């Protein structure tokens, strides 16, 4: 196996490195990406693109509250308008189809489809029904995430994910959505990135609802995973033909030295970022090393919870962006030690495609019951600008090539990876970073809502067209 993930792809030509628009985006002839059944798509999330936060009965979410709080979001940005997808969804789906993308991962805004008493909001439901039916008409596979962080504010007012009852309210929400949308969804994901919801939302306060307590983080995580476990049998009962899974973000941790302390720090980093979620799902238990990091933070777990959480999955969604170099903090944990001279994105994240391959192959060894995997998010932010009607996002082109090559290497090593979703279809509200950071393969001018397809999207479309002709 090559150590450099770019080896499986044609390298960027000198012309492209200088900004030319002539670069091909073609995997090597033996790449797994040529398989007809390897799904290539793009992903979005409701609060990041929809806007229309006060329309058609939608209730406030924790992100409406958080982003309206001074100092919480860069430049005071909010998702009130975002990409105005709520009004422009038809043309956005047409754009998705015109690129030849085969899959679309979207999320449902919980506050848009139910009122505070748990009754359905028909206008909100109809929005998603129209959208999903349009995807079916276009022959695009739909992956629907039930929770991508926009918890109804009225539930947060009752304790949010610190309140066990929220897990049962999530099961009610799942029941409504899977009854209403049965037959229109190809794959359901219960949660997106519970690590972010629990740790960034309740552990360090970087995300909504903005609480900061390690004990809160572990309890919130338990209730999130319990919600997932309660939802899986509901989905199986209401929509048996669909796939059911969950989406986890994963992080690669590497040690700053060969010392035992630094090696242990890297291990604990991956325990906190990966095993905290995957062990309960796939082993039915929390990793005890987690509580070495956070002594005394064990969540309250009731009888039967671990069995509920470990419900069998049809697929596991994996989101990957970067690796973190760490050293021992001299106590129970780790501290970041940023490497110098490495490639970074607009987010400051290190570009490290080999980390994705290494994590995937590691999971295959660690979890005997590892389900089929979809890379449900992978992408990068860059300061993209439209010049003469074009966006030549050279770094993103290189980033995507190398990460797709890493996926190909993992497949050849025996990992069952069945698809890959670009993050994101279009530039959008990037949570606490507002609108400054652009992750899309389509540029959005927020003042006019004009969409401009970036060169990365053009090259992906070109490859998909070639693959369709070939297979």
Alpha-carbon separation of residue 61 from 73, 80, 94, 114, 174 (angstroms) = 15, 11, 29, 12, 17
pTM score > 0.85 for this model? yes
Task: Place 8 in a pLDDT band, splitting at 50, 70 and 90.
Answer: very low
Is the pLDDT assigned to residue 25 strictly greater than 90?
no
Contacts of 419 (CB under 8 A, 6+ apart): 38, 39, 40, 41, 103, 374, 375
Is the pLDDT assigned to residue 26 strictly greater than 90?
no
CATH code for the domain in which residue 421 is found:
3.20.20.80
**Tell me: the pLDDT tens digits for 397-448?**
999 999 999 999 999 999 999 999 999 999 999 999 999 999 999 999 999 9
Looking at residues 27-38, what average pLDDT do you find?
92
What is the reported pLDDT for 239? 98
Task: Place 2 in a pLDDT band, splitting at 50, 70 and 90.
Answer: very low
Is the pLDDT assigned to residue 347 strictly greater than 50?
yes
Distance of CA 465 to the CA centre of its chain: 26
Is the pLDDT assigned to residue 18 strictly greater than 60?
no
What is the reported pLDDT for 27? 85
**How many other β-carbons are positioned within 10 Å of the β-carbon of residue 154?**
15
Main-chain phi, psi angles of 341, to 5 degrees: 75, 20
Distance of CA 354 to the CA centre of its chain: 19
Task: Place 223 in a pLDDT band, splitting at 50, 70 and 90.
Answer: very high
What is the reported pLDDT for 24? 55
Looking at residues 297-311, what average pLDDT do you find?
98
In three-state secondary structure terms, 439 is coil
Give dist(CA 369, CA 107) in Å, integer.
Answer: 27
- Catalytic residue ranges: 377
Task: Place 16 in a pLDDT band, splitting at 50, 70 and 90.
Answer: very low
What is the reported pLDDT for 28? 86
What is the reported pLDDT for 22? 45
Give dist(CA 459, CA 105) in Å, integer.
Answer: 20
Which range of residues forms the domain containing residue 341? Answer: 5-470
* Total of domains in the chain: 1
361 sits in which H/E element: helix 353-366
Is the pLDDT assigned to residue 389 strictly greater than 90?
yes
Task: Place 39 in a pLDDT band, splitting at 50, 70 and 90.
Answer: very high
């Amino acid at each position: 196996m090559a150590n450099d993930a770019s080896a499986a792809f044609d390298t960027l030509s000198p012309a492209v490195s200088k900004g030319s628009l002539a670069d091909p985006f073609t995997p090597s002839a033996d790449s797994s990406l040529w398989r007809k059944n390897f799904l290539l798509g793009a992903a979005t999330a409701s609060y990041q693109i929809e806007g229309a936060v006060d329309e058609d009965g939608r209730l406030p979410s924790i992100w409406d509250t958080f982003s309206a709080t001074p100092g919480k979001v860069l430049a005071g940005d909010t998702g009130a308008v975002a990409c105005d997808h709520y009004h422009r969804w038809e043309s956005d789906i047409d754009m998705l189809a015109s690129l030849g993308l085969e899959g679309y991962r979207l999320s449902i805004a919980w506050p848009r489809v139910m009122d505070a008493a748990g009754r359905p909001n028909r206008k909100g439901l109809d929005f998603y029904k129209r959208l999903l039916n349009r995807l079916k008409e276009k022959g695009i596979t739909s992956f629907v995430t039930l929770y991508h962080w926009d918890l109804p504010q009225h539930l947060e007012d009752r304790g949010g994910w610190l309140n066990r009852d929220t897990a049962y309210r999530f099961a009610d929400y799942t029941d409504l959505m899977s009854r209403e949308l049965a037959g229109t969804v190809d794959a359901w994901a219960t949660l997106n990135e519970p690590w972010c919801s629990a740790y960034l939302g309740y552990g360090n306060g970087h995300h909504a609802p903005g609480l900061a307590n390690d004990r809160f983080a572990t309890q919130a995580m338990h209730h999130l995973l319990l919600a997932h476990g309660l939802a899986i049998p509901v989905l199986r009962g209401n929509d048996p033909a669909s796939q059911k899974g969950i989406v986890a973000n994963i992080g690669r941790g590497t040690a700053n030295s060969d010392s035992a302390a630094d090696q242990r720090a890297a291990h604990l980093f991956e325990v906190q970022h990966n095993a905290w979620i995957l062990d309960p799902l796939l082993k039915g238990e929390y990793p005890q090393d987690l509580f070495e990091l956070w002594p005394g933070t064990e969540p309250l777990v009731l009888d039967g919870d671990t069995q509920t959480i470990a419900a069998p999955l049809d697929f596991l969604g994996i989101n990957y962006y970067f690796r973190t170099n760490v050293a021992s903090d001299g106590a129970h944990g780790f501290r970041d030690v940023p490497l110098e001279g490495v490639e970074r994105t607009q987010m400051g994240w290190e570009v490290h495609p080999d980390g994705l391959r290494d994590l995937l192959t590691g999971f295959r060894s660690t979890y005997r019951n590892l389900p089929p995997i979809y890379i449900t998010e992978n992408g990068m932010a860059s300061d993209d600008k439209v010049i003469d009607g074009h966006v030549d996002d050279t770094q993103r082109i290189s980033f995507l090539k190398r990460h797709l090559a890493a996926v190909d290497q993992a497949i050849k090593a025996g990992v069952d990876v069945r698809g890959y979703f670009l993050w994101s279809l279009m530039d959008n509200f990037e949570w606490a970073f507002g609108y400054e950071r652009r992750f899309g393969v389509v540029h959005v001018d927020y003042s006019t809502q004009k969409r401009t397809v970036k060169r990365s999207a053009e090259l992906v479309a070109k490859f998909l067209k070639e693959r369709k002709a070939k297979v």
